[in-house]
Amino acid sequence: MSDCIFCMLAGGEIPTATLYEDDDFRVILDAGPATMGHCLILPKKHYADIYEIPEELLAKAAVLAKKIAIRLTKAMGCDGFNIVQNNKPAAGQTVFHFHIHLIPRYNDDGQNILWKPGKLTDEARDEILAKFAEAGE
């Protein structure tokens, strides 16, 4: 997509701080990092979200996320790691080009990438299981 900022970044049309690149992906430092070393895995082809990206490419992205996380942990000496992938506005997606956030975490870094656990009731469990079964593959 010619007007997609992440397409332009992944394609090298806009200069980036690139950590890694291959035929399918470019990994860049996030311009608005949550923590030191926060980066993005961007596919070079445009897919809006997890619903559109081919499974083979998604699998490659997961393997790449692990490799980059291991290397960043070694390089940055972080204490933990968040790997975040948002889909659709309700889930916090703001750029509609599939991407994975790799966020090194440091003790007392002030970030709060967590949620407040709820409770799975028997009724909700049964409803979810029934709806999931109805949805098929």
Please tell me the distance from the alpha carbon of residue 112 to that of residue 89, in angstroms, as a whole number.
Answer: 19
Active site residue 101: no
Which tokens in the block code for residue 38? 């926060």
Please tell me the distance from the alpha carbon of residue 29 to that of residue 98, in angstroms, as a whole number.
Answer: 16
* Phi and psi at residue 126, to the nearest 5°: -65, -40
- Following CA atoms 70, 75, 77, 78 in sequence, which dihedral angle do they give, to the nearest 10 degrees? -50
Annotated active-site residue in 46, 97, 99, 101: 99
Q: Going along 4-121, which residue ranges are E strands?
A: 18-21, 25-29, 39-43, 80-84, 100-105
Residues annotated as catalytic are: 99
